[in-house]
Amino acid sequence: MKTLKTCLVILIAFAIGCSKTENVAPPAPVAPTFGDFAIPSKEFGDPAFKITAPKSTSDGAITYTSSNTKVATVSGETITVKSSGASVITAHQAATKAFLADSVKTTFTVGLSSPTLTDFTIADKKIGDAVFTLVNPKSKSTGAFTFKTNNPAVATVSGNKVTIVGAGRASIVAVQAATVNFKTDSITANFTVTGLKPTLGALTLPAKKVGDPTFIITNPTSNSTGLFTYKSSNTAVAYVTGNMVTIKAAGTTIITAIQRATATYSADSTKATLTVTARPIAPNLYSFVLPDKRVGDAPFTITAPGSTSAGAFTYASSNTGVAAISGNIITIKAKGQTTITATQAANGNYTSGSITAVLTVEDRALTGTVTDVDGNVYKTITIGTQTWMIENLKVTHYNDGTAIPNVTEDNTWKGLTTGAYCNYKNDASIAATYGKLYNWYAVTNTKKLAPKGFHIPTDAEWTTLYNYLGGDREDGKKIQEQGTAHWSANTGATNSTLFTALPGGGRIFDSFQGVFASLTYDAYFWSTTANGASNAWYMDLYVKGYFERHDSPKYYGYSVRCIKD
């Protein structure tokens, strides 16, 4: 308890002591410290902008003043540019309790502005146009304009007046002087001055012939003094060097006289036609040779004769029955001779000319023989890609030696479904010339009717021959024997293939003709190709040269021709 009382007494005594006031003096204010103070330079015409306040250790308010209000004014912290020049901008900072009032300065510079020149153009002119006045370019500056030319030979300038003095290209430069606020600047306008059109007289050229000497062109008359040059549109006829013309060949060419521009006159030209005629020179034709040919040879190309001329050749045959010509291709038609004429067209310095050669066409060459099992020998011929017997078959045995039945009785023959042969009207003397007649069953017998190495043609193989002949029924004349020794009439057969078809007739059971019919009128040849169960295909060559495909019953008796395997 005593300790507590002692503490209270001490606390009360401290509180009374602390309540007494003491008089202490505050510290004196000091000058502030400023950081960098700078204002960027501007050009006349730049917009107003805000000042960036200088850094300071004081927080006193800052105001600004301009030493040259003609250059720049200050409102608050915004500077407005008035003119080019320089002004000192002062930043004033007010005093505070701790800092004295103070200021800092910087120089603000306003430079000259570009005047921005536009709209300065000059229209093209021509010789003789009047003096014209230049219109000042548009500009933000009020500086005075002066003008100068870069080509006084075309246009001269006095003040703002331009005088045309010659043809050509010129440039006028407009120069604007500097002012208080704007720099000097310039702008250029380009224009063209065309000369007067000269009055050109006619260009006269004499007619020439191939072989004439070089000649000089006489300049056309002109009121211009411009130099003349010349050119030829067809240098194969004549070419020009300077004003000298050299003749090359017959024909026409356009000679153009071109007069160059002068200070007063523009360029211009005039034309004339130079005609060069050929002197009558016959070409020298030589080496026109045609090889001998045979019937059935492939069409061939004519080798053109040699010639001193380059003219085109055309060809003609005096006997188109022996050989026909299309362009420069000769097609063999038949045995004989024909004169082939090569005609060369006129060209350049040469007249037309011709040369002839004789083409000889021989019969086809027989290619060999073939012998059947009975010893009969048959001649053969190659026609296109096929090799054929040129005689009707006479064999009476199959290749294995088996005899082929000779059936003479008509009803027995008609009822057969196996191989058989007969003679026309059962007369062996007729068969000796025209060959035997066979039914289709003999033709297709597996023991084989044809000589070894040969076979009876199919329908397709007959079609190959038909197409080789020309693909028309009247082309049968090319395989028909000529004359009337075996045919009842001669209607234009050529036998150009040497097939030598003989009209052996047939055993045909036709109620209109009888059983044996058409000897000397028709050559019937079997194919091995059936047309259904009862019939088969065969070829019929009629006396008029008609070669046709038909079908008939298999028991009919027809001639047989064999083709090489």
Decide: 105 and 92 in contact? Cβ < 8 Å.
no
Angle at 438 between CA 435 and CA 443, to 5 degrees: 115
Count of alpha carbons within 13 angstroms of residue 205, beta-carbon side: 29
- CA separation for the pair 258, 422 (Å, rounded): 98
**pLDDT reported for residue 207:** 92
Helix (H, G, I), strand (E, B) or coil at 194: strand
> Is residue 510 very low, low, confident or very high in pLDDT (cuts 50, 70, 90)?
confident
Residue 7 lies in a domain: no
Residue 12 lies in a domain: no
Same domain for 466 and 481:
yes
Residue 14 lies in a domain: no
- CA separation for the pair 87, 28 (Å, rounded): 35
DSSP β-bridge partners for residue 254 = 273
**pLDDT reported for residue 27:** 87
Same domain for 484 and 436:
yes
- CA separation for the pair 208, 211 (Å, rounded): 9
pLDDT per position as a tens digit, 153-179: 999 999 999 999 988 899 999 999 999
The H or E element containing residue 489 is none
Give Cα 556 distance to the centre of its chain: 65
**pLDDT reported for residue 8:** 41
Same domain for 293 and 404:
no
Nearest CA to 294 out of 342, 357, 366, 391 is that of 366
Same domain for 243 and 177:
no
Q: Is residue 240 over pLDDT 80? A: yes
List all residues 6 or more positions away from 261 whose beta carbon is below 8 Å from its beta carbon. Answer: 167, 195, 226, 267
Q: Is residue 536 over pLDDT 70? A: yes
> Is residue 22 very low, low, confident or very high in pLDDT (cuts 50, 70, 90)?
low
- CA separation for the pair 507, 512 (Å, rounded): 13
**pLDDT reported for residue 294:** 85
**pLDDT reported for residue 509:** 86
- CA separation for the pair 407, 373 (Å, rounded): 20
- CA separation for the pair 122, 160 (Å, rounded): 13
Residue 269 lies in a domain: yes
Domain count, the chain: 5
Final residue belonging to a domain, choices 55, 79, 111: 111
**pLDDT reported for residue 2:** 41
CATH number at residue 265: 2.60.40
> Is residue 366 very low, low, confident or very high in pLDDT (cuts 50, 70, 90)?
confident
The pTM score is 0.45
Residue 485 lies in a domain: yes
> Is residue 514 very low, low, confident or very high in pLDDT (cuts 50, 70, 90)?
low
**pLDDT reported for residue 15:** 42
Decide: 273 and 253 in contact? Cβ < 8 Å.
yes
Helix, strand, coil percent content, the chain, rounded in steps of 5: 10, 40, 50
Mean pLDDT, range 220-226, rounded to an integer: 94
Q: Is residue 379 over pLDDT 60? A: yes
Mean pLDDT, range 113-129, rounded to an integer: 93
List all residues 6 or more positions away from 179 whose beta carbon is below 8 Å from its beta carbon. Answer: 141, 142, 143
Same domain for 493 and 421:
yes
Q: Is residue 3 over pLDDT 50? A: no
**pLDDT reported for residue 253:** 96
Decide: 90 and 67 in contact? Cβ < 8 Å.
yes
> Is residue 513 very low, low, confident or very high in pLDDT (cuts 50, 70, 90)?
low
Mean pLDDT, range 348-359, rounded to an integer: 91
Residue 453 lies in a domain: yes
Same domain for 484 and 373:
yes
Decide: 388 and 525 in contact? Cβ < 8 Å.
no
What residue type is 284 in one-letter code? N
pLDDT per position as a tens digit, 448-462: 999 999 999 999 999
Nearest CA to 385 out of 299, 497, 293, 468 is that of 468
Mean pLDDT, range 376-396, rounded to an integer: 95
- CA separation for the pair 443, 258 (Å, rounded): 91
Residue 8 lies in a domain: no
Mean pLDDT, range 532-543, rounded to an integer: 97
pLDDT per position as a tens digit, 288-327: 999 999 887 889 999 999 999 999 999 999 999 999 999 9
Mean pLDDT, range 59-74, rounded to an integer: 95
Structure tokens at 88: 């000192």
Q: What is the mean pLDDT of the chain?
A: 92
**pLDDT reported for residue 496:** 87
Same domain for 144 and 215:
no
Residue 5 lies in a domain: no
pLDDT > 90: percent of the chain: 84
**pLDDT reported for residue 44:** 93
Helix (H, G, I), strand (E, B) or coil at 206: coil
Q: Is the dihedral of CA 150, 155, 158, 162 positive or negative?
A: negative
Mean pLDDT, range 487-510, rounded to an integer: 92
pLDDT per position as a tens digit, 245-268: 999 998 999 999 999 988 889 899
Same domain for 376 and 231:
no
Same domain for 304 and 169:
no
Lowest mean pLDDT among 341-345, 362-366, 488-492: 362-366
Domain that holds residue 149: 117-194
**pLDDT reported for residue 20:** 45
Q: Is residue 116 over pLDDT 80? A: yes
Lowest mean pLDDT among 133-147, 416-430, 505-519, 539-553: 505-519
Same domain for 396 and 524:
yes
Same domain for 127 and 59:
no
Cα R_g (the chain), whole angstroms: 62
**pLDDT reported for residue 128:** 87
CATH number at residue 316: 2.60.40.10
Structure tokens at 100: 């004295």
Final residue belonging to a domain, choices 277, 311, 328: 277
Same domain for 479 and 443:
yes
**pLDDT reported for residue 469:** 93
More confident residue, 211 or 231: 231
